[in-house]
């Protein structure tokens, strides 16, 4: 697609429920990232995929959080037994090149989706 697509854009759930957030990266982008942004805060790294493998899961806050990527494309972030502190905007990003940089081609640029806003009541 033309950009990084995320769904749902908004999700309200009750504490203890499981949620799935989906990310569809830009076509051909091999690198995919999940970040979390709590209200008024900076972005917190969660997980990085290169192809279907996740060489860096260091940012996942607990074992309630998991993510997978299939076919080198779509990724799903799953949060089990949601807690109120999980409320945040979950941002997905992708890049064509492994090395993140600038450059006129845009290949090395990390491009973000619009995010999925999760509210846990």
Partner 1 sequence: AQKITQTQPGMFVQEKEAVTLDCTYDTSDPSYGLFWYKQPSSGEMIFLIYQGSYDQQNATEGRYSLNFQKARKSANLVISASQLGDSAMYFCAMREGRYGNKLVFGAGTILRVKS
Judged by the rule CB under 8 A, the positions of this chain that interact with partner 1 are 31, 33, 35, 41-45, 48, 50, 55-56, 59, 89, 91, 93, 98-103, 109-115
Report the C-alpha gap between 117 and 38 in whole angstroms: 10
> Which of 45/68 has CB closer to partner 1?
45
Rounded-to-integer distance, Cα 50 and Cα 117, Å: 25
Closest CB to partner 1 among residues 14, 102: 102
* Beta carbon nearer to partner 1, 7 or 80: 7
Q: How far is the CB of 78 from partner 1 (least distance, A)?
A: 20
Least Å distance, CB 38 to partner 1, is: 11
Strand-pairing partners, residue 103, are none
Q: Rounded to whole angstroms, what are the CA distances from 67 to 40, 71, 121?
A: 25, 14, 23
Nearer to partner 1, 54 or 120 (CB): 54
Q: How many CA atoms lie within 13 A of 37 on its CB side?
A: 15
């Amino acid at each position: 697609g033309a950009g990084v697509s995320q769904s749902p854009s908004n999700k309200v759930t009750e504490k203890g429920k499981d949620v799935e957030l989906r990310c569809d990266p830009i076509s051909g982008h091999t690198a995919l990232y999940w970040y979390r942004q709590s209200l008024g805060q900076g972005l917190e790294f969660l997980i990085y995929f290169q192809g279907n493998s996740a060489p860096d899961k260091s940012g996942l806050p607990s074992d309630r959080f998991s993510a997978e990527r299939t076919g080198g494309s779509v990724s799903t972030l799953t949060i089990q037994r949601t807690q109120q502190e999980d409320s945040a905007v979950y941002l997905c990003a992708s890049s064509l090149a492994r090395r993140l940089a600038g450059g006129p081609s845009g290949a090395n640029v990390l491009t973000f989706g619009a995010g999925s806003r999760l509210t846990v009541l």
